Amino acid sequence: MAESTPPPHSCAPPTPDRPVYVIGGGPGGLSVAHALRARGVRAVVLEKSDRVGASWRGHYDRLHLHTTRRLSALPGLPIPRRFGRWVSRDNVVRYLEKYAEHHRLEIVTGVEVSRVERAPDGTGWLLHATGGRELTGAAVVVATGYNHTPRVPDWPGRDSYTGEFLHAGQYRNGKPYAGRDVLVVGVGNTGAEIAVDLVESGASRVRLAVRTAPHIVRRTTAGWAAQYSAVLVRRLPVGLVDRLSRVQAKVAVPDLSAYGLPRPDTGLYTRVRQGAIPVQDVGLIDAVRKGRVEIVAAVDGFEDGGKIALADGTRISPDAVIAATGYVRALEGLVGHLDVLDARGNPVVHGARTPVNAPGLYFTGFTNPISGNLREMALDAVRIAKAIARDGAGRVARLPG
């Protein structure tokens, strides 16, 4: 007896070919888009602003990369030599624009993705975006950036403070503060550099509020960039790197204890693993030793009359306060419902790995490695593209030809 032909409705429908959506047109998103394109996979970058590199355009004027030009390039295009060893903010933006053009990346600007969820058919991801758009992709790469949303601590009295207050993300240069008394809160790389910028711009007094003394490293020593050492030691045991860096610091960095910046008790690499990148010296050491930047205790709260209470009990009344207190990733609305974030709001995995409960969802640029953010994003881009090309065979839209 001949075998009967199953009715058409019992056959599984073909899986549609869908692009990979990359959320964010910064260096992480652009590098992943190129790496996918190089493997013949169609990648569409969704950027909420009207141009690529939006976060870089908003940084303060004097910013230069703390990583070298050669170790900061994205896959497939070197950073021009004319940009110098330490690339300026404006040249980073020029490079990102050229990168997108050179690799003919498919970028849609003015589109902000508000939520990512599983596609109804279970074979991909559904993105909800501005204008009521609903986009379905075979995979999604979230690259919205490490410095996404300014973080301001919930200081007592902050809401009623009448003095000038701004987050470091709003700071551009020190010209408006010439002749003024300014308090910078936070001694990460941003706070340290803004304090130096204020001094050089003629501020009458600059104080830097410090809660935890940072590790300070020279950007270069006899021409050897600190990043080179970071790359070499990144895979070594944490305790060993702590000991090596302690010895190096005693040789290269003067003891600033008398000025309010003692050497930290916790090792450098231990602190990195906790999320605290060392401060690269771009003038802070000299400014502190010369008394041009005064180290004060951490801010405890804001009081009437424009006074600020410090942790050691003193009260100060600066003309302006600049909070260099960092950023949050702000991923909760986008993917928080998928159980892919840890208690601090960071992705539970990054790079080529995807969450066990969310295959096909990737994250890049949400770590701040000692070896350099751009370098690691470049490496992650290639790994992510390889994983998507491998795991998405038959589902991911391919480029023609």
pLDDT in tens, 318-329: 999 999 999 999
CATH architecture of 15-148+329-391: 3-Layer(bba) Sandwich (3.50)
Q: Which of 190-194, 234-238, 360-364 has the lowest mean pLDDT?
A: 234-238
Question: 171-182 burial, b for 16+ CB within 10 Å, e for fewer?
Answer: beebeebeebeb
Distance CA 318, CA 207 (A): 9
Predicted pLDDT of residue 3 = 41
Residue 6's pLDDT band (cuts 50, 70, 90): very low
Residue 1's pLDDT band (cuts 50, 70, 90): very low
E-strand stretches of 89-241 = 106-109, 113-118, 125-129, 133-137, 139-142, 149-150, 164-167, 181-185, 205-210, 216-218, 220-221, 224-225
Block residue for tokens 């493997």 = 39
Q: Sign of dihedral through CA atoms 250, 255, 261, 266?
A: positive
Distance CA 194, CA 187 (A): 10
Predicted pLDDT of residue 16 = 65
Block residue for tokens 């910046």 = 261
Predicted pLDDT of residue 118 = 95
Residue 122's pLDDT band (cuts 50, 70, 90): confident
Domain boundaries, the chain: 15-148+329-391, 152-326
pLDDT tens-digit map of 197-214: 999 999 999 999 999 999
Predicted pLDDT of residue 304 = 87
Does the fold of domain 152-326 match that of domain 15-148+329-391?
A: yes
Whether 2 shows a pLDDT value over 50: the answer reads no
Block residue for tokens 């010296």 = 281
The strand pair at 220-221 and 139-142 is best described as unpaired
Residue 116's pLDDT band (cuts 50, 70, 90): very high
Whether 4 shows a pLDDT value over 70: the answer reads no
The strand pair at 133-137 and 125-129 is best described as antiparallel
Q: How many residues does the chain have?
A: 401
Answer CATH for 152-326 from 3.40.50.620, 3.60.70.12, 3.50.50.60, 3.90.1150.10: 3.50.50.60
Predicted pLDDT of residue 106 = 97
Distance CA 117, CA 191 (A): 37
Write down the mean pLDDT value for the chain.
Answer: 92
Predicted pLDDT of residue 274 = 86
Taking the model in full, what pTM does it have?
0.91
Predicted pLDDT of residue 252 = 92
| Beta carbons of 228 and 205 less than 8 angstroms apart | no
Cα 52 to Cα 23, 32, 43, 141, 357: the distances in Å are: 12, 14, 15, 16, 31
Distance CA 369, CA 188 (A): 14
